[in-house]
């Protein structure tokens, strides 16, 4: 099956990626995000979409989650960036996941719809995802090692590298084979 993994620039954050991507500022337009969800639905059996915890982002994606049958999940950041004049830190991130098939438990007794993992530092690009977060999202998306994964926003290649390491670790339980 074909899976999509999307970690686009968040609303109002296009300027952070302008030197890396010529269309980074387009992501400040909500319509660009709506088009991305349409693309994920049309092109992939299952997908992962990282989003901002900002109210306008959640308001935009909420109807799309209902429409697509995807699920809200959460990456809780044990260590997160704290910004001056922001009294309550954004220490979590919504991760919207639509499984390609019914998920199976490969290494845990129960999968959770949240993960607690610190942010990455000095990875060359703001927002590079930790390997453990990508592994968790892949399991919730019911990925399998023989699936095809498209990293729609390769940036630092963190998702692509995590896909390679996850494929090497994944063991399908005998009951699900």
- Work out how many domains the chain is built from and give that number: 1
CATH code, domain carrying 143? 3.40.50.150
Phi, psi at residue 65, to the nearest 5°? -65, -45
Global confidence as pTM? 0.89
Cα-Cα-Cα-Cα dihedral of 95, 101, 107, 108, to 10°? Answer: 70
Structure tokens at 157: 């290649």
Assess contact for 90 and 11: CB atoms under 8 A: no
For each of the chain's 177 residues, which pLDDT tens digit applies?
Answer: 999 999 999 888 888 888 877 888 999 999 999 999 999 999 999 999 999 998 999 999 999 999 999 999 999 998 777 778 888 888 899 999 999 998 876 665 568 999 999 887 665 566 678 999 999 999 999 999 999 999 998 878 899 999 999 998 877 665 555
Largest CA distance in the chain: 52
Sheet-wide strand order for 114-116: 114-116, 71-76, 92-98, 46-50, 2-6, 148-151
Per the structure, the complete domain to which residue 50 belongs is given by 2-176
């Amino acid at each position: 099956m074909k899976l999509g993994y999307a970690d686009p620039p968040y609303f109002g954050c296009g300027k952070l990626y302008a030197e890396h991507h010529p269309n980074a500022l387009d992501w400040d337009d909500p319509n660009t995000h709506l088009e991305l969800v349409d693309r994920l639905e049309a092109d992939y059996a299952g997908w992962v979409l990282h989003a901002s915890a900002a109210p306008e982002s959640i308001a935009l994606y909420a109807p799309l989650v209902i429409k697509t049958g995807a699920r809200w999940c959460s990456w809780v950041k044990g260590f997160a960036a704290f910004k001056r004049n922001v009294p309550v830190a954004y220490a979590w991130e919504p991760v919207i996941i639509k499984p390609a098939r019914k998920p199976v438990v490969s290494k845990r007794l129960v999968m959770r719809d949240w993960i607690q993992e610190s942010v990455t530092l000095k990875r060359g690009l703001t927002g590079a995802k930790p390997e453990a977060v990508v592994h968790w999202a892949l399991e919730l998306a019911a990925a399998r090692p023989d699936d095809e994964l498209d990293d729609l926003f390769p940036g630092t290649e963190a998702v692509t590298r995590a896909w390679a390491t996850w494929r090497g670790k994944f063991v399908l339980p005998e009951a699900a084979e």
